[in-house]
């Protein structure tokens, strides 16, 4: 066989090298794809962890009871997930480790834990209100100096709380004018924000006590009016009324707690029919 001329031979070798590079790139892409698949398909354990420190006030608490408690709570959550679906999600209130006596079965959790189901519209309202409520606080906070390593302890947050109060007043008026089928779900979003534990919680701060007390009273009045209506008028699903009452009772307990805003709302949230 005749040997190819140098120019043609060089070109052939160059094309062969390009093909090898392409093959290597494809292999790299495949490997990256495999890594992406692994990452997308990873099943991260997001189950809640509990330990003995959560039950320091329980004299007879043991590791065995802790394990049973954890398994029971996991089952309770799985059951609520099963009851949820594309058209509704479960919203659970309260902290499981606060329940006394300490639950040891999923049924005990179900009996003692406030939870309700929200449809898509209810979820959207809660998300929108929550974001608007927290942004009102953040947008009215004093700007920090770039050279400040730590935020000042005497930052004036009054404007942030004033903005939140305005959002609350406007939203509560909006909710009270809604159709009952929408109102009870929007009302859940309001209750959730009072119970939410975060640094920008207007109610927990104890600021604007007089104004917030008036809001709490109006919120109670709204729920009192709602609970007078029958299930059909409210568009409730089976079991919703009892779940709502349990949720509202948890809010009563929260507001009656002397450690919550130093008891500023004790006796202010009175809902008829509980």
Contacts of 175-184 spanning 24+ positions with Cβ under 8 A:
175/222, 176/218, 176/222, 180/226, 180/229, 180/233, 180/234, 180/235, 181/234, 181/235, 182/121, 182/122, 182/125, 183/222, 183/226, 184/226, 184/234, 184/235, 184/236, 184/244
Domains of the chain by residue range: 46-113, 119-143+154-274
* pLDDT value for 39: 32
Identify which has the larger pLDDT, 35 or 244.
244
Three-class DSSP category at 100:
coil
CA 44 and chain centroid, separation = 19
Residue 37: per-residue pLDDT: 40
The backbone torsions φ and ψ at residue 89, rounded to the nearest 5 degrees and listed phi first, read: -130, 155
- Residue 271, class by beta-carbon neighbours within 10 Å (0-12 exposed, 13-18 middle, 19+ buried)? buried
Distance from the Cα of residue 41 to its chain's centroid: 24
Which pLDDT value is given to residue 36? 41
Tell the burial category of 153 from Cβ atoms under 10 Å away from its Cβ (0-12, 13-18, 19+).
exposed
Provide the pLDDT for residue 89.
94
The structure tokens listed for 131 are: 């974001």
Tens digit of each residue's pLDDT (9 = 90 or more) over 132-179: 998 998 898 877 655 555 555 667 888 999 999 999 999 999 999 999
Please indicate, yes or no, whether the overall pTM of this predicted structure exceeds 0.85. no
Residue 254 phi/psi, 5-degree rounding, is -65, -45
Q: Please report, rounded to a whole number, the percentage of residues in the chain having pLDDT higher than 90.
A: 64
Residue 26 has pLDDT above 80, yes or no: no
Query: Partners of 119 in the beta sheet?
Result: 88
The DSSP symbol for 123 reads H
Q: Which of 20-34, 142-156, 173-187 has the lowest mean pLDDT?
A: 20-34
């Amino acid at each position: 066989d005749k040997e190819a001329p140098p120019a043609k031979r060089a070109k052939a070798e160059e094309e062969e090298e390009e093909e090898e590079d392409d093959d290597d790139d494809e292999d790299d892409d495949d490997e990256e794809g495999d890594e992406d698949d692994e990452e997308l398909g990873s099943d991260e354990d997001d189950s809640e962890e509990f330990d003995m420190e959560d039950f320091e006030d329980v004299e007879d608490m043991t590791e065995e009871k802790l394990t049973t408690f954890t398994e029971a709570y996991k089952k309770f959550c799985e059951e609520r997930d099963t009851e949820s679906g594309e058209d509704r999600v479960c919203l659970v209130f309260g902290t499981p480790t606060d329940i006394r006596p300490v639950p040891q079965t999923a049924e005990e959790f179900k009996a003692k834990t406030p939870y309700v189901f929200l449809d898509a519209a209810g979820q959207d309202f809660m998300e929108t209100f929550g974001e608007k409520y927290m942004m009102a606080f953040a947008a009215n906070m004093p700007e920090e100096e770039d050279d400040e390593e730590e935020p000042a302890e005497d930052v004036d947050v009054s404007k942030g709380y004033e903005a939140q109060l305005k959002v609350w007043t406007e939203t509560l008026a909006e909710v009270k004018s809604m159709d009952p089928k929408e109102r009870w779900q929007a009302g859940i979003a309001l209750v959730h924000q009072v119970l939410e534990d975060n640094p920008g919680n207007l109610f927990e701060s104890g600021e604007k006590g007089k104004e917030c007390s008036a809001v709490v009273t109006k919120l109670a009045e709204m729920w009192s009016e709602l609970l007078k209506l029958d299930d059909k008028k409210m568009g409730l699903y089976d079991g919703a009324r009892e779940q709502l009452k349990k949720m509202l009772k948890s809010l009563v307990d929260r507001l009656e707690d002397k450690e919550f805003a130093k008891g500023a709302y004790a006796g202010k949230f009175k809902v008829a029919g509980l």
